Amino acid sequence: MQNDSRRLRIAQVITCLGQGAESEIVKAVCGRLAGLGHGVTLISAPTVCPSKRTAEFLKSFNGHFIEVPELKRDINLVHDIAALASLYKIFTREKFDVIHTHTLKAGFLGGIAGRLARCRAVVHTPYGRVFYGHSRLPLFSDKVIAPTGLEKREMIRQHICPAEKIEVMRHGIEFESYALPETDRRNFRAGFGFSDNDKVIGMLGRLETDKGPEYFVEAASFIAARWPEARFIMAGDGSLRKRLEAKVMELGLKKKFVFAGWREDVPGILSTLDILVMPSLNEAVGMAAVEAAAAGVPLIATNVGGVPEMVKDGDTAILVAPREPRAIADIAYLLLSDPEKKKSMAAAGRAWAADNFRAETMVKKLERLYAALTEPAVKDAAKWYFKPSALVVGFLCIGPFILPLVWTNSKFDTRKKIVISAAILIVSYLLVLLMARSLQSLSNYYQELSRLLQDMR
């Protein structure tokens, strides 16, 4: 950290610490920032049945943890208004220098509360492709973090966020945790019924259509026909599991297949594998590719989304077109038949992950970003906080027409009337800000067009 005078008070906000890359990233960020001497507060809803790793993290976390029970993933107007009020109260009391929100709901409510509480800087990290096309979270953020260049280009192309607000920053993992000793590898293999001589090919992730698990099963049938010693494991769960299990039975692969369900010991799962397959149809980032590289596991992945930016095609992974199970099988057979190629890919993957995806590198970049955003010159720069004028305009445009209907409706009790009125005021306020932003963008466009025409003359 720079020095004691630059010690920052930082809030990390997420809906819950569940399964998924976002939770692991938030835990790494919180732990390492606290270790650097910053005052870190983690804010989330209570975690129901936390995993062993999450429970250990919360026990050892050298920071402040605040639970907001209403901060749920599902949309619920009453809960969302209550969560917004709770976040505003927390932010006002704690006077954070930086609020960093993660995922859609936390970004929306945390961003509004941060602006209302006049926090010095708001940063948002979206996860997955839900961000594209309909979100306007950047309105509440000073910076939006994109883990790949693809996401930055998509945000700009769909007018979600101006280029100057986007910071491309790769996600990081706890690299050392993926290097397990040989004894652990053997124990994990034995736990799944695999021998040392078996060639194990696996898939990690949700068993949903966008992850392409049915193509993994089809590829497995082609591989098994050419390499009888091959075994297969799917670590994950989802709505397609029963259909996939039926397909495995139909193809006669039951004795070769393991459905491991959700697992928190990803390094252990990866240690059992000779090859990891990512047959995704749509992948915003593809952190499993990075985890495989860190574990020294050769990867076969589809050339979709942000995956090409997470690997070195031909060195750390081999990319194929989506929906091509036979191509996956052909490359798997090639790797199983060429131990030297498999070994070189494993070594290249470890080096690639070490150079580009370490958690400490990600956190150092975040620390520099936070420091830059909270410099006095940046703090005093023109940016919108809470604008009473926008609230007044919104109320005058919408309130006189809708609020009387709410308060004269006998079906609502007083509590519901207050909640609905508050929601109407917030929506009207945001609409005024959005219209003002749109008019400003249109004005800038015409000014630029006018300058261009003058230059052409």
Same domain for 22 and 153, yes or no, is yes
Residue 204 contacts residue 288 (beta carbons within 8 Å): yes
- Work out the pLDDT band at 369, boundaries 50, 70, 90: very high
Same domain for 86 and 195, yes or no, is no
Strands (E) in 206-321, as ranges, are 230-235, 257-261, 275-278, 299-302, 317-320
- Predicted TM-score (pTM) of the model is 0.79
Q: Taking Cα atoms as reference points, which of 445, 444, 429 lies closest to residue 384? A: 429
Predicted local confidence at residue 384, as pLDDT:
45
Question: Which segment of 19-33, 219-233, 260-274, 377-391 scores lowest on mean pLDDT?
Answer: 377-391
Q: If you search the block for the tokens 């049915």, which residue do you land on?
A: 214
Same domain for 65 and 160, yes or no, is yes
- Work out the pLDDT band at 39, boundaries 50, 70, 90: very high
- Work out the pLDDT band at 390, boundaries 50, 70, 90: low
Residue 260 half-sphere exposure toward CB, CA atoms < 13 A: 25
Q: Taking Cα atoms as reference points, which of 234, 233, 248, 236 lies closest to residue 206? A: 236
pLDDT tens per residue across span 228-238: 999 999 999 99
Same domain for 153 and 226, yes or no, is no
pLDDT tens per residue across span 69-125: 999 888 888 899 999 999 999 999 999 999 999 988 899 899 989 988 989 999 999
220: containing domain: 177-356
Same domain for 214 and 299, yes or no, is yes
CA angle 97, 71, 36 (to 5 degrees): 35
Predicted local confidence at residue 2, as pLDDT:
47
The stretch 17-29 carries a mean pLDDT of: 87
Dihedral, 263, 268, 269, 270 alpha carbons, nearest 10? 140
The CA distance from 169 to 369, in Å, is 10
Using the predicted structure, report yes or no on whether residue 291 has a pLDDT greater than 80: yes
The CA distance from 26 to 10, in Å, is 12
DSSP 8-state symbol, 103? S
Predicted local confidence at residue 116, as pLDDT:
86
Using the predicted structure, report yes or no on whether residue 311 has a pLDDT greater than 80: yes
Same domain for 221 and 155, yes or no, is no
Same domain for 201 and 290, yes or no, is yes
Same domain for 451 and 316, yes or no, is no
The CA distance from 33 to 363, in Å, is 7
pLDDT tens per residue across span 326-347: 999 999 999 999 999 999 999 9
CATH number of 183's domain: 3.40.50.2000
Question: Which segment of 4-8, 169-173, 272-276 scores lowest on mean pLDDT?
Answer: 4-8
Residue 274 contacts residue 254 (beta carbons within 8 Å): no
The CA distance from 223 to 256, in Å, is 11
pLDDT tens per residue across span 133-192: 334 556 689 999 999 998 899 888 887 788 999 999 999 999 999 989 888 999 999 999
Same domain for 330 and 399, yes or no, is no
Predicted local confidence at residue 449, as pLDDT:
47
Same domain for 372 and 439, yes or no, is no
CA angle 239, 250, 198 (to 5 degrees): 90
Q: How many structural domains does the chain have? A: 3
Same domain for 210 and 348, yes or no, is yes
Predicted local confidence at residue 432, as pLDDT:
67
The stretch 1-24 carries a mean pLDDT of: 80
Strands of the 199-204 sheet, one edge to the other: 257-261, 230-235, 199-204, 275-278, 299-302, 317-320
Same domain for 52 and 20, yes or no, is yes
- Work out the pLDDT band at 454, boundaries 50, 70, 90: low
The CA distance from 99 to 292, in Å, is 31
Predicted local confidence at residue 435, as pLDDT:
66
